Structure 1
Amino acid sequence: MSQIIDSLSEISDRYEAMFVDLWGCVHNGMTAYPEAVDALRAYRKRGGLVVLVTNSPRPRTEVMKQLEGFDVPDDCWDNIATSGDSARSAMLRGAVGDKVWFVGTQDELPFFEPMKMIDNPVQITRVPLEDAGGIVCTGAFDASQHPDVLRPQLLYAKQKGLKLLCANPDVIVDRGETREWCAGAIAELYTEMGGESLYFGKPFAPIYDLARSRLAEIAPDIPDSAILAIGDGVKTDIQGALGEDLDSLFISGGLAAAETGTVRQPDPAALERYLAEQNVSPTYSIGFLR
């Protein structure tokens, strides 16, 4: 059974570094959670290192700008690893060819910017679906619409044998009080239809490789046993941590607030039932990061 804690400080001295999810943990898609910011600041003041590990399809530089707009101060984190950077690296190495159909918004176009770490990158051209050799999906055209609206295009793509590169495995997020569909929902539908989807964010290994690399830029040789993964998604953050053999802290007041009976803290019985249904066992649980 997951141990319910009251604050991060109860366990933080056991870890040299933390991989911390953003949406649902540090901010709600609109503004920062003050208690979460304070908890991470306090951890860093004691010498801990914080790598923000996010399924955002945006490059690290764009996430930094976004955090500033959400009033998440830069003194509560040390580095950032994004699903977008992990997926961009694969795209620029030719994972879905050089002519791609782009599914996403204008705000996510920085995904196609060059990366210094890639030698001899593939020159990517965005083209209509009928001319594409692959698909790049950073999100829905309209996050309020169910991914099923894309079924005709996805069926055509599957018949052409196109691979879909998913830059954000999240299925849903809550922007304030509004629930939105993410790229993961489109990739999930494509896979169900018989298409091939390539994932690069949590819970899949590539983003953890990137997170360790970003951590090593600050402090090399920190073992996995000294890293705590924090997040509110059992299918992404917690399953990813389990797959990487990392201890984890589940934030029950995010996506699963209703299922876990979370007001300030989860209802123990509801939490246990929910985790059993999801077949996951985080090391610790807390209502909200604080």
Structure 2
Amino acid sequence: MVHEELAFRLNDREYKNWLKAGRCLLILKDGLHSYIDQHMRAFHCDLLNRNTLLQNPCETSSCKPRGNTLSSVCRVCSEWRKVILKHHRHPDATINWANCFPPHWRTDHWELAKAYMPRGQAKVRGADQCDASALLNLINYCTCFSSVDPKLVRQVIQYRNELMHSCEFRVKDEWMRHYWTALKHFAQQLRHVPQMATAGQQIENMLTVDLSISIFGVDQMDSAGLFDGLQSDSVSQSTASAELVSQWETELLQEMLQECLHTAAEDDDDAKSQDTEQLKRLGGFLQTNQDLSERFSTELQAINSLQPRE
């Protein structure tokens, strides 16, 4: 059967917890897209209306960061920098200017948003391309999201970081209870946003569903109503359930791989060292599961190419 190894992994309750918690982050990310994009558009427009200097184009069309430092920029881009810092809740913290292309600050609200995000966002062109960490950090650092309590945002960020850097890809029941509380409190603040109201319900469903599947006979999942509308006429409910769990696992592992590989490719030695061990653990986990090693063969080759030769 196709899902033997998946079923074996899901026999570990703490691995199921890890998978469910990761799936909740992906649900949260999707729920935030529209809200954040609309909010940043309005914020960008308000800045332009309040400051006529910001309405002018970059005077050189070539202002850009050097590494993560933004210096020797024109008068207009310098004004944008001042405004960005003014609306940053922690302007003394590291600002990832390398995310941005300053000449586009005037015309692209998302270039503005990226100044409030973690490193590695330079090629990202919209909210729908961001992971949960990027979106949560934007809400946390930019003062335009004044309706959301930053303490609740930081709690979710903390749990997200613990989850994505879990050494064994397993979390305990107690951790899940605290995580659930943090997600619930955060989502409740945005319940007036239709997409977030839906995401909040989906998160609650995900945290309470039993992801166990049985590969002997009929695949099963205790998920009444959760997958309505997701299966086609040619795919049974039981088959769709196992396929969906596999898809969720793939999406979560893919996000972890992308984050680690991106850091490994950076010139920042400190950033590299932070994720080197995580990348090794992730590679080892994939290699010990044949189905995952086949699914992520390209990524495993990239991981192996980064290992120092003896």
TM-score tier by shorter-chain length is under 0.3
TM-score normalized by the length of structure 2? 0.24
Bigger helix fraction: 2
Bigger strand fraction: 1
TM-score normalized by the length of structure 1? 0.25
Largest Rg, 1 or 2? 2
